[in-house]
Structure 1
């Protein structure tokens, strides 16, 4: 029997329940996976709250790492005993568990140099950082990125990766302590979003030009400043809604702000092609294994302390990545 989180209704962190569940044998295209570490992502709170609607009852969590215990018919790219990691969306929901059945397709083989805990802390964040830095916009050395939530799990990876490529990163953070963390991981400058005018500071730091690329995972509360921070014909990337959904965008706004571009990407569309997923994962693993990118795990929780973990991440008190130990 496995222990697994189950949602019978949506709501606050208190709705997360725990049950003993049978796992059984994998069917065609599935594997039975024993988890070693499970990732905590802000998106988990969206499933729990009902912002991302799914049929109930259901599991929770979309990212983990572990060992393949058994493979079903037709599974060829992983074998029993393989170390793997995964991330996804509805197709991987149920990661808050000790053991589970899961489709084999999302599984990524994990190099021996990457510990399970590191993998659980970085697979979603790292692949997100990979497409933001390597795929979404043609940046050149010296270009400027405005990075919101720069001391968060994705932010710290983006900042380090961007610095490796010679980009200038201006990071927004909520506290001086987080500012120090962001600067230590590649941010050239930081802006205290609670006390400073973000758009004005960006213009001051760029001699009035604005940022070539704005990466906004916060949403509602940062949207206006993000629009005002993009350079003429630059790109605003809205890839999260930590403070709530972004307001509607009217086409004339984009012209008035300097013929800017806006996109709302999803990781799933950047890893849907197996070859592209393998390429992005390979780059990520190489950087982490070589120590060029550090994965900062600053919060560790027992799996059944998920309710408290959700309270912490929603309160904005976490720094870097968080994981559950199994």
Structure 2
């Protein structure tokens, strides 16, 4: 089978197209014929080596890239009965989807309803599950609450807006351009600002009569995090769930006190997908929303097997609005 693999960390030139044997599922695993793979910043970070020593995401070299996908179960390992050959499934936080076949732990698999296209399943399970746990479990949004969402035109940002609005929250959003601001508004954001060198915080304060928002969802990191503190109310919550703009490495906890006794958390999805039931529950909520129209995700990039570099480059250069997928059906 064909696969996109890396044997060392680095830039795009470390990507290798290889012919490798079809893997075989062991106990608690399933072999899936991959139809679509999601293209995510986690793939860029994997290639760069950011998970080289991670305990949450213990992915090690050499490896096949791709941590999100959808397809049909081809075979199951010994003693596995949760899924059967022919089942339509999607998964995330299990590496190896940039290939014709992937072996996936069955506890990571979610059954995809027949009515939902597999490209949408592949495009939504990682970012949808992320937005779901951030809004429901970490941010605990509800009627009357307020939140600020950075990178609001991206795949996770779009879904964060939609989940927050479904929960009755007033949504403030930031983007890097007016084009992206229009995307955030189209998905339901109440107030949208450009980052403007951190001056978004002043605009949020002004729009909330000086109070600030209850929760900030910040996936950007270094360029925005301290200004996120300024945009947050006293005893509010800042959720730093990513660092696509780089990590803030000189933070003194006293800054949180000075900013208003803030709470700061750095969650990871893996800790909020503790078992198969939780995986399916979050996926079901996302898939139902896509089917009934209460959620939408824009697949704005579709790439073939030989175009992986192009898809990853669009992410790294911040040119990607919405979600991109790798089509492996050919």
1:257 pairs with one of 236, 256, 259: 259
Give, in angstroms, the shift of residue 178 of structure 1.
0.6
1:245 pairs with one of 224, 244, 247: 247
- Please list every run of 5 or more consecutive structure 2 residues that lacks an aligned counterpart in the other structure: 53-58
Go from structure 1 to structure 2 and tell me whether the alpha carbon gap of 1:112 and 1:60 turns closer, same or farther (over 3 Å shift): same
Give, in angstroms, the shift of residue 253 of structure 1.
1.5
Looking at structure 1, the residues matched to 198 and 49 of structure 2 have their Cα atoms a distance apart, in angstroms, of 33
Whether contact under 8 Å (1:126, 1:157) holds in the other structure is yes
Q: Which position in structure 2 is the counterpart of 1:122?
A: 124
1:83 maps to 2:88:
yes
1:65 maps to 2:35:
no
Give, in angstroms, the shift of residue 195 of structure 1.
5.8
Alignment partner of 2:44: what SS? Answer: helix
Q: Which position in structure 1 is the counterpart of 2:133?
A: 131
1:9 maps to 2:8:
yes
Whether contact under 8 Å (1:217, 1:242) holds in the other structure is yes
Deviation >6 Å, runs of 4+ = none
Looking at structure 1, the residues matched to 157 and 221 of structure 2 have their Cα atoms a distance apart, in angstroms, of 15
Q: Which position in structure 2 is the counterpart of 1:169?
A: 171
State which drifts further: 195-204 or 39-48: 195-204
Go from structure 1 to structure 2 and tell me whether the alpha carbon gap of 1:79 and 1:243 turns closer, same or farther (over 3 Å shift): same
Q: Which position in structure 2 is the counterpart of 1:273?
A: 275
Go from structure 1 to structure 2 and tell me whether the alpha carbon gap of 1:59 and 1:227 turns closer, same or farther (over 3 Å shift): same
State which drifts further: 301-310 or 20-29: 20-29
Looking at structure 1, the residues matched to 24 and 12 of structure 2 have their Cα atoms a distance apart, in angstroms, of 31
The 5 Å alignment of 1:25-44 reads 25-44=24-43
Looking at structure 1, the residues matched to 79 and 314 of structure 2 have their Cα atoms a distance apart, in angstroms, of 41
Alignment partner of 2:260: what SS? Answer: coil
Looking at structure 1, the residues matched to 13 and 24 of structure 2 have their Cα atoms a distance apart, in angstroms, of 32
Q: How many residues align?
A: 322
Give, in angstroms, the shift of residue 251 of structure 1.
2.4
Looking at structure 1, the residues matched to 110 and 179 of structure 2 have their Cα atoms a distance apart, in angstroms, of 35
Give, in angstroms, the shift of residue 282 of structure 1.
1.9
State which drifts further: 49-58 or 227-236: 49-58
Looking at structure 2, the residues matched to 49 and 39 of structure 1 have their Cα atoms a distance apart, in angstroms, of 18
Alignment partner of 1:18: what SS? Answer: strand
Give, in angstroms, the shift of residue 142 of structure 1.
2.4
- Output one character per residue of 1:125-179: Cα deviation in whole Å (capped at 9) or x when no partner: 0000000111113333121110000000000011111112221111100111111
Give, in angstroms, the shift of residue 14 of structure 1.
2.0
- Output one character per residue of 1:255-291: Cα deviation in whole Å (capped at 9) or x when no partner: 1111110000000111113333332222212111101
TM-score, with normalisation over the residues of structure 1? 0.95
State which drifts further: 100-109 or 274-283: 274-283
- Please list every run of 5 or more consecutive structure 1 residues that lacks an aligned counterpart in the other structure: none
